[in-house]
A and B are shown apart, each in its own frame.
Chain A
């Protein structure tokens, strides 16, 4: 009965490639997020989706695009990967925007 799941757990790829990370939640939450955690452990919000509508887009390069086929899924697609994209990406969800987050297990992306 995993609450928030992500695939893959590890992703190693070369610069210039395009990759996707998938996220699913079975909590019935209306809001989902993507956070990036860099090597210094800083957690920074990238996107949030509420009822399939993008409501936050921080200073994230347009190479990153979230896609939500339904309210239980929020996938992250990344074009033309760069070395600086290497990080752990966490999907999360909340019942109410800006309230308790439930995080997925994270995807460790390594760009070589």
Chain B
């Protein structure tokens, strides 16, 4: 089955700086890569996703890049704000069949004032 590795496990950045979280996947059939944000005590919520037919996608301060050859994808957050503090999960799926999403182990992002 799919295996998703996520790094770093904890990331601390100064407010206003950029944050980058990286993930690798093992199944070359995976074609859907979402990112979820989970605030303390709340449910994970989708913030951005990318499919394997594109290399980059942006939505305001967040962007995701995908390198299919290397089987890795990254989340970029620019101009970080205190409300960006949360745990971020990457995930991968081949979709179309019976599988759910396979998640990375999460990155705790801390925005320092």
Contact = CB atoms under 8 A, between A and B. Distances in A.
Interface of A: 31, 33, 35, 40-45, 48, 50, 55-56, 90, 92, 94, 96-101, 103-106
A47 B15 CA distance: 39
Given A104-B43, A106-B43, A45 B102 contact: yes
B100 A98 contact: yes
B99 A103 contact: no
B106 A42 contact: yes
Contacts, number: 69
B54 to A, nearest CB: 16
Interface residues of B, number: 26
Interface in B1-58: 32, 34, 36, 38, 42-46, 49
A22 B32 CA distance: 29
A102 B50 CA distance: 17
Given A41-B105, A42-B106, A103-B44, A97 B87 contact: no
Nearest to B108: A41
